[in-house]
């Protein structure tokens, strides 16, 4: 962001405003952490702010400070539409294109509010007046910290803001292990702990609150794991019947894809999950090194994301989707084995 843009945003935020903050559909730790952190910051600066999520999110995020104030667009559509129409500012966080919020995207596009994007995904669309986009950032939460810092307000970061930001940095960096984790990321984490983020408690709330059924589902996923060693690829499938058998709840499969990537010599991992209700196969892709799952997902599975983490979907059956995946892999033999 330029200094001129920062000055303009400072001027905008110097007078109380109606502000809506929006994460992407099926929000994860970074999406909810960043939106709720910004919510606490804006409330403390006398704005009438609200987080409006396109839909619900997993229970393991439902302890975040401010969680009880979040509106869900799919269950309160009329009220949300009015609020979007009346908003002065709309912040869109942790996504790069309005289709990532589903139907809510049309209302955001129509709203006359000034739009501000804070995001770290590749190839951002051009819908916002102010764009703070940086694909090198570990997380949108790290960017919200830097955004508050750019506004000269880092001394105003409270324990609630710190807790939300810590959560998203932790989840998007795989607990500070992905290459996007820099010394500045650790510096920020240190600051967040200093002002009251309880790191051990946050790790516990996110990672040590599994249900028995979720662990059984993980067992099923791992027994379905297939490896294609000559292409350094591993993939997992989960059918709707398997999800039902283990009483699947939103968020239960979060992180499963990483098990494929934990195999020695594997640099590309995928998970294919059947969503019979929507008639789609939801796909998560992960890689190590230069192989871009963002490009792969854009090319074959109507998705996108980052170089090493992306998502997409398929309208084919689960079996047909796997056949398609296996048939296109050899096109990338050079990238996968070089
Ligand atoms: P996940 O596999 O955890 O759902 O998503 C991995 C990354 O890709 C996240 O940053 C997520 O926001 C992004 N992503 C997931 N699904 C999609 C999709 O359908 N389209 C795009 N453009 N990005 C996605
Ligand atoms: Mn993110």
pLDDT single digits (tens) 296-320: 999 999 999 999 999 999 999 999 9
Return the residue whose CA atom lies nearest to atom 21 of ligand 1: 304
Cα-to-chain-centroid distance, residue 230 = 31
Cβ contacts of 27 within 8 Å, gap of 6 or more: 35, 53, 54, 57, 61, 94
Closest ligand, as measured to the CA of 173? 2
| Alpha-carbon gap, residue 174 to 157, rounded angstroms | 24
Confidence at residue 157, expressed as pLDDT on a 0 to 100 scale:
98
Q: Residue 176 is encoded by which pair of tokens?
A: 């500070």
Ordered by start, the domain boundaries in the chain are 3-207, 212-337
CATH of domain 212-337: 3.10.310.30
- pLDDT tens sequence across 71-83: 999 999 999 999 9
What fold characterizes domain 3-207? Answer: inorganic pyrophosphatase (n-terminal core) (3.90.1640)
Q: Which one of 309, 310, 312, 314 would you pick to mutate in the ligand 1 pocket, going by the greatest count of ligand atoms within 8 A of its CB? A: 310
The response to whether residue 261 sits with its C-beta less than 6 Å from ligand 1 reads no
Q: Is the dihedral of CA 72, 77, 83, 87 positive or negative?
A: positive
Closest ligand 1 atom, residue 28 Cα: 3
336 alpha carbon – ligand 1 mean position (Å): 21
44 alpha carbon – ligand 1 mean position (Å): 31
The response to whether residue 312 sits with its C-beta less than 6 Å from ligand 1 reads yes
| Alpha-carbon gap, residue 267 to 5, rounded angstroms | 40
For residue 311, count CB atoms less than 10 angstroms from its CB and return exposed for 0-12, middle for 13-18, buried for 19 or more.
buried
Q: Residue 319 is encoded by which pair of tokens?
A: 């079996």
Q: What is the pTM of this model?
A: 0.95
Confidence at residue 207, expressed as pLDDT on a 0 to 100 scale:
97
Return the residue whose CA atom lies nearest to atom 13 of ligand 1: 305
Q: Which one of 305, 306, 314 would you pick to mutate in the ligand 1 pocket, going by the greatest count of ligand atoms within 8 A of its CB? A: 305
The response to whether residue 303 sits with its C-beta less than 6 Å from ligand 1 reads yes
Q: Is the distance from CB of 88 to CB of 113 less than 8 angstroms?
A: yes
Return the residue whose CA atom lies nearest to atom 2 of ligand 1: 284
Confidence at residue 24, expressed as pLDDT on a 0 to 100 scale:
98
Q: Is the distance from CB of 137 to CB of 173 less than 8 angstroms?
A: no
- pLDDT (tens place) for every residue of the chain, 338 residues total: 999 999 999 999 999 999 999 999 999 999 999 999 999 999 999 999 999 999 999 999 999 999 999 999 999 999 999 999 999 999 999 999 999 999 999 999 999 999 999 999 999 999 999 999 999 999 999 999 999 999 999 999 999 999 999 999 999 999 999 999 999 999 999 999 999 999 999 999 999 999 999 999 999 999 999 999 999 999 999 999 999 999 999 999 999 999 999 999 999 999 999 999 999 999 999 999 999 999 999 999 999 999 999 999 999 999 999 999 999 999 999 999 98
Gyration radius of the chain over CA positions: 20
Confidence at residue 13, expressed as pLDDT on a 0 to 100 scale:
98
Closest ligand 1 atom, residue 303 Cα: 20
């Amino acid at each position: 962001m330029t200094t001129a843009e920062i000055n303009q945003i400072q001027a905008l935020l110097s007078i109380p405003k109606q502000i809506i903050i929006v994460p992407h559909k099926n929000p994860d730790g970074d999406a909810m952490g960043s939106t709720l952190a910004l919510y606490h910051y804006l409330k403390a600066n006398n704005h009438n702010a609200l987080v409006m999520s396109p839909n619900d999110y997993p229970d393991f995020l439902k302890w975040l400070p401010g969680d009880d104030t979040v509106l869900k667009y799919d269950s309160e559509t009329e009220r949300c539409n009015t609020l979007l129409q009346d908003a002065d500012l709309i912040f869109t966080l942790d996504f790069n294109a309005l289709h990532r919020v589903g139907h809510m995207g049309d209302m955001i596009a129509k709203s006359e509010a000034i739009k501000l994007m804070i995001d770290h995904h590749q190839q951002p669309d051009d819908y916002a007046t102010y764009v703070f986009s940086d694909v090198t950032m570990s997380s949108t939460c790290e960017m919200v910290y830097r955004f508050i810092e750019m506004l000269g307000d880092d001394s105003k970061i409270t324990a609630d803001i710190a807790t939300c930001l810590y959560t998203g940095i932790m989840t998007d960096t795989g607990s500070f292990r992905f290459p996007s984790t820099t010394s500045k990321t650790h510096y920020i984490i240190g600051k967040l702990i200093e002002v009251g983020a309880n790191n051990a408690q946050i790790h516990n709330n996110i990672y040590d609150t599994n249900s028995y059924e979720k662990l059984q589902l993980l067992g099923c996923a791992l027994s379905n794991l297939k490896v294609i060693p000559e292409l350094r690829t591993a993939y997992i499938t989960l059918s709707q019947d398997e999800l039902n058998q283990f009483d699947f709840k939103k968020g239960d499969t979060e992180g499963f894809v990483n098990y494929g990537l934990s195999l020695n010599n594997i640099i590309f991992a995928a998970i294919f999950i059947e969503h019979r209700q929507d008639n789609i196969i939801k796909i998560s892709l992960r890689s190590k090194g230069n192989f871009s799952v963002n490009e792969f997902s854009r090319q074959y599975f109507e998705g996108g994301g980052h170089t090493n983490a992306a998502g997409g979907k398929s309208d084919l059956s689960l079996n047909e989707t796997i056949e398609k995946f296996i048939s296109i892999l050899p096109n990338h033999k050079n990238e996968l084995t070089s």
